[in-house]
Structure 1
Amino acid sequence: MRLGFIGTGTITRAVVTGLIHVGAPFEHICLSPRNADVGIALAALDPRISVCGTNQQVLDASDVVCLAVVPTIAPEVLGALQFEARHHVVSFIAGVSLAALQRMVGAVDAIVRAVPLPAVAAGMGSTAICPPDEITRRLFAWLGTPVEVSDERKFDALSAVTATMASFYAVLDAQAEWLVQQGIDHDSARAYLGGYCRGLAHETSESGASFSALVAASMTPGGINEQLHNELSVKGTYSHYREALDHVLRRVEGR
């Protein structure tokens, strides 16, 4: 596989780092000259990685082209490039539809949207893909769990869920602050909660049980898990979470 990346930011760094981390097979990776410091650092990881002088040189040397530029400059950057029929285009550009991408890149072998997250750098996490595509699925299977959907409405919903990262960490921060108030030093609180979350995440990926089943299995009648869950439910915490996701989805869809 000859991979090229137009845009060398956080997600490109995570994907390329992950491919090296898991020992994924590829012929070479070509990086655009944007963010030279990131490109140079990635090129130092493996002799098969290089930084090209121009974005067009990335295209000319690649078969699978990953687009990782910000949406506001996508028309300008992509409009200046000459894509070929052989190019398999995988877009990480948020909010830019398949139809809009088609207008920007022209007639190519395939156009796919994907949402890789930072955890791919460690070969973990999940990546949403639309539409289903063998090459993109194989690429992200090396980096975690690819989840394919057939239409962009579903893809937008998966994209909206990624808005929960900050709130996930905010809940952990609230727990850590509470533990500090109980006299536990912050480093110990962070270490404890980090390990606690890893254990819970392992259970979700290894057990195969539904989330509702895991909720039920975590509660004993009259126990502390049941107490906290019931209090949050009564206060409408979970229903408000769903409402907030509805608002995010409307934004993702441009409504």
Structure 2
Amino acid sequence: MRAGFIGTGTITQAVVKGMLRFGVPFERILLSPRNAQTAAELAALDGRVQVCESNQQVLDHSDVVCLAVVPQIAAEVLGDLEFNARHHVISFMAGVSLDQLRGWVRTSGKIARAVPLPAVAEGKGSTAICPADDIARAIFAPLGQAVEVDSEDKFDALSAVTATMASFYAVLETEASWLAKQGIDYADARAFLSGYCVGLAHDTTRGVQPFSQMVEHSMTPGGINEQVHAELSRRGAYAYYDEALDGVLRRIRGNA
């Protein structure tokens, strides 16, 4: 596989580092010259990674092409490029449908969408893929979880839940600030909560039981976990997630 990346930002950096670290087989990785510093840093990691002089040169020497440009400039960037049927295109661009993408790349070759997250660099990321795609799976399965879906409606829903990163960290900040009010040094509070969250996340990977079952198993009758869960449920805290995600999904589908 000769994999080319159009766009050299945070996600490309994470994917390339993950491919190198976890042994995804490839002959060569070609990077666009945009964001020259990041491209140069990646090229320094492995002799098979090289920075091209132009986006078209990336295409000319690749058979798998990953599109990682921001959607706002995608039409302009891709409109200047010549794709052909040998190119297997994987788009990381949020909100750009398969039909829209095919119109931009003007090729009969295979096209798929994927939404990798920065944690793929550490082999701990989840990547949604639509439709099922052997090449995309070969790249992302070694980098964590690769979840393939058969419709863009489902893909959009998976994309929507990635909008909860900031709120996840906000919950941790609320807990850390509360601990600081109890006299605990913020750095110690942060270290404790980081390890605590790693443990909880690890538990989710040890089986396939529904999360609702894990909720029940983590509570003892009259215990402190039951107390907090009951309080948040009574106040409707979890229901706000449904409402917020509905709004994100409408925005992704252009209905906001």
Q: TM-score range by the shorter chain?
A: over 0.9
Partner of 2:80: 80
SS in 1 for 2:108: coil
| CA offsets 1:81-140 (integer angstroms, 9 cap, x no match) | 000100000000111100000001112321100000010010112100001111111110
Shifted more, 21-30 versus 8-17: the winner is 21-30
8 A Cα contact 2:24 2:138, kept in partner: no
SS in 1 for 2:111: strand
| CA offsets 1:17-45 (integer angstroms, 9 cap, x no match) | 11112122211100000000000000011
Matched, 1:97 2:97: yes
Two-structure CA RMSD over aligned residues (Å): 0.7
Q: Percent identity?
A: 66
8 A Cα contact 2:27 2:48, kept in partner: yes
Q: Aligned AA for 2:10?
A: T
For structure 1, the residue ranges without an aligned partner over 5 or more in a row are: none
Partner of 2:10: 10
Q: Aligned AA for 2:69?
A: V
Tell me the distance in 2 between the aligned counterparts of 1:190 and 1:108.
51
| CA offsets 1:149-194 (integer angstroms, 9 cap, x no match) | 1110000000000000000000001000011111111111111111
8 A Cα contact 1:88 1:108, kept in partner: no
Partner of 1:204: 204
Instruction: Quote how far apart the aligned CAs of 1:220 are.
Output: 0.3
Q: Aligned AA for 1:217?
A: H
Matched, 1:38 2:38: yes
Q: Aligned AA for 1:134?
A: D
8 A Cα contact 1:120 1:144, kept in partner: yes
Partner of 1:69: 69
Partner of 1:171: 171
Partner of 2:122: 122
Tell me the distance in 2 between the aligned counterparts of 1:110 and 1:201.
35
8 A Cα contact 1:83 1:108, kept in partner: no
Partner of 2:137: 137
Q: Aligned AA for 1:188?
A: D
8 A Cα contact 2:3 2:30, kept in partner: yes
TM-score (ref. length: structure 1): 0.99
Tell me the distance in 1 between the aligned counterparts of 2:72 and 2:207.
42
8 A Cα contact 2:5 2:12, kept in partner: yes
Moved over 6 A (4+): none
Instruction: Quote how far apart the aligned CAs of 1:254 are.
Output: 0.5
Tell me the distance in 2 between the aligned counterparts of 1:86 and 1:230.
56
SS in 1 for 2:205: helix
SS in 2 for 1:206: coil
Partner of 1:25: 25
Shifted more, 211-220 versus 18-27: the winner is 18-27
Count of residues in correspondence between the two structures: 255
Tell me the distance in 2 between the aligned counterparts of 1:128 and 1:254.
20
8 A Cα contact 1:89 1:108, kept in partner: no
